[in-house]
Amino acid sequence: MQKNEIYEIEITGMTDEGDGVGKAEGMAVFVPYTIVGERVRVLIVKVMKTYAYGKLLEVLSPSEHRRKAECPYFYQCGGCQLWHLDMDAELSYKQQKVNDCLHRIGKLDVDAESVRLASGETRYRNKAQFPVTPEGIGFYRRNSHSVIPMEDCLIQGEWNETIVRNVKQWMETNGVSAYDEATGKGCVRHIYTRSGASGILVTIVTAEQAMPKKEELIEMLTGTGIPISGIIQNINGKKTNVVLGRENKVLWGQGYLLDTLGRVKYKISPLSFYQVNPSATLRLYEIAKKFAGLTGKETLWDLYCGIGTIGLFMAEKAEKVIGVEIIPDAVENAKENATLNDIENAEFYCGKAEELAPVLVKEHGRPDVVILDPPRKGCEESLLQTVSQVQPERIVYVSCKPSTLARDLKYLTEHGYFVKKVVPVNMFPRTEHVETVVMLSQLKPDDVVQVELNAEDLALTSAEAKATYEEIKTYVKRAFGFKVSSLYIAQVKQKMGLPMGKNYNVSKKGTRVPLCPPEKEEAILEALKHYKMI
């Protein structure tokens, strides 16, 4: 295969990045903007050893899920990947992607539930970052750092258009320069907006400390008629792709944003993380709260807590909440947010979760429930080790990247936990990204049975045995005062050469089957003797 050749191929799968993939000359060919089942004509643009990249020239037989992209920039912009799919196909793609990771990377025999929907497919984001360059203000082109000039974006709030237009005009009228990545010269690097209940916070990221024509900027933005609540200058003098620097100066109004999720109010500084899709976030947190299964007596760790969002959302149901976060501004916000909501049972610490977790155990004892909500790269193994060693009853893992989630679930299931539920949430419609919330609980014999036995197995087993499993359990409970699981009974029966259900000792992939402890074995043997089975 060579560059510039044209092939007709059938799309048979989709990658994690949302590209279609098919085969030609025995090679995998990745083709953006295609859908499984389609026959397409592609121009080969890059050839590697075992795979190639193709550019879509023509869709020969379109999928029933193909639709006209609403966004005029879709085929150039790097922001979204799925405007050519209908929502059904988007949701099944995302569910499939989570499942692939669970099975392939996590080696888990569990499936994700259907993807939960958020309220809107467009205009859902509360945060926008427009790069400002000598070429213009807009968004990055796909796989590139060059900018497509644009004022509006269909997944952003419509007010951004006015803000971008006004900042552009302010720069042109006052001769304020755009930062040039190549030379490191120039002033304005990004326009960063965030919206919430209190209004819109506009942050202008500059390369230098000095803010030229400050009054003019304030006048330009506050005269727009849109509810701007604060204007901030953020200084980022580094040669880096990271948007924000560490320093903020409030130029006008409030230096932070206020927002509400459910009954909880949050204060958010420009540098603090906050989920971008409020209606999906509320769904996500409600599911996470359910998964945490709090009764009011638990110590809850909220690791990677940001501004305390999840922990504070659940605080009313816990005895104590302990949050850990690496960004100092976010920890400050978390503490303020506890006060703002009259929450007195929450404490927040600044540091790396992997470093602070062992200290927390020493100082506060072990947690009953742990929330893990790491960034894309997932958790450090040392943190997973600490968490699995202190054995919280439940772990709720919130993830924005299925592959690292699956890697971490593999570790946790190899260290005493069961994956009980996996629920993806469509936090980022039209993009390839998906948020997932997972409930894990500690390995318990009864849980094993619950997961592994179905009614058919039980019926088969009862028919084979003289005494049913239920009878043996009841006998043991009466005679010894403790419970035994069907799994343990099966193990003892197997040891004694008695018939048993075929699945009783088969572990789900990636999980560990607990062995019957000696005192329970003795009790079961007694029961078997009682029923004259041995």
Out of 72, 184, 237, 375, which residue is the one contacting ligand SAH (CB under 6 A)?
A: 375
Q: Which residue number, 73 or 397, has a Cβ lying nearer to ligand SAH?
A: 397
Residue 343 tokens, joined: 């929450």
The verdict on 451 binding ligand SAH (CB under 6 A) reads no
User: Where does this chain touch ligand SAH (CB under 6 A) — which range of 21-29, 235-243, 245-253, 369-377?
Assistant: 369-377
| Positive/negative CA dihedral, 47, 51, 52, 57 | positive
User: Where does this chain touch ligand SAH (CB under 6 A) — which range of 89-97, 178-186, 326-334, 384-392?
Assistant: 326-334
Beta strands 127-133 and 188-196: pairing type? Answer: antiparallel
Q: Which residue number, 124 or 273, has a Cβ lying nearer to ligand SAH?
A: 273
Q: Which residue number, 237 or 375, has a Cβ lying nearer to ligand SAH?
A: 375
First to last CA, the chain: 70
| Positive/negative CA dihedral, 495, 497, 501, 503 | positive
User: Where does this chain touch ligand SAH (CB under 6 A) — which range of 71-79, 271-279, 498-506, 511-519?
Assistant: 271-279
Three-state secondary structure of 190-218: EEEEEEECCEEEEEEEECCCCCCCHHHHH
User: Where does this chain touch ligand SAH (CB under 6 A) — which range of 113-121, 303-311, 337-345, 422-430?
Assistant: 303-311
Q: Burial level of 294, CB count in 10 A (0-12/13-18/19+)? A: buried
Q: How many residues bind to ligand SAH according to rule CB under 6 A?
A: 19
Q: Which residue number, 78 or 351, has a Cβ lying nearer to ligand SAH?
A: 351
Number of neighbours of residue 532 by Cβ within 10 angstroms: 8
Nearest to 281 by CA among 109, 454, 427: 427
Out of 38, 90, 368, 373, which residue is the one contacting ligand SAH (CB under 6 A)?
A: 373
The verdict on 326 binding ligand SAH (CB under 6 A) reads yes
Q: How far, in Å, CA of 275 to CA of 297, rounded? A: 28
Number of neighbours of residue 68 by Cβ within 10 angstroms: 7
Q: How far is the CB of 353 from ligand SAH (least distance, A)?
A: 4
> Is residue 207 within 8 Å of residue 236, measured between CB atoms?
yes
Q: Which residue number, 185 or 364, has a Cβ lying nearer to ligand SAH?
A: 364
Out of 38, 90, 100, 325, which residue is the one contacting ligand SAH (CB under 6 A)?
A: 325
> Is residue 443 within 8 Å of residue 466, measured between CB atoms?
no
Does an H or E element contain 278, and which? helix 278-292
Q: How many CA atoms lie within 13 A of 166 on its CB side?
A: 19
User: Where does this chain touch ligand SAH (CB under 6 A) — which range of 41-49, 113-121, 150-158, 368-376?
Assistant: 368-376
Backbone angles phi, psi at 376, to 5 degrees: -55, -35
The verdict on 300 binding ligand SAH (CB under 6 A) reads no
The verdict on 305 binding ligand SAH (CB under 6 A) reads yes
Q: Which residue number, 320 or 493, has a Cβ lying nearer to ligand SAH?
A: 320
**Restricting to residues 338-367, which ones interact with ligand SAH according to CB under 6 A?**
352-354
Out of 232, 330, 396, 489, which residue is the one contacting ligand SAH (CB under 6 A)?
A: 330
Q: How far is the CB of 200 from ligand SAH (least distance, A)?
A: 19
> Using CB under 6 A as the criterion, which residues of the chain lie in contact with ligand SAH when the complex forms?
273-275, 304-306, 309-310, 324-327, 330, 352-354, 373-375
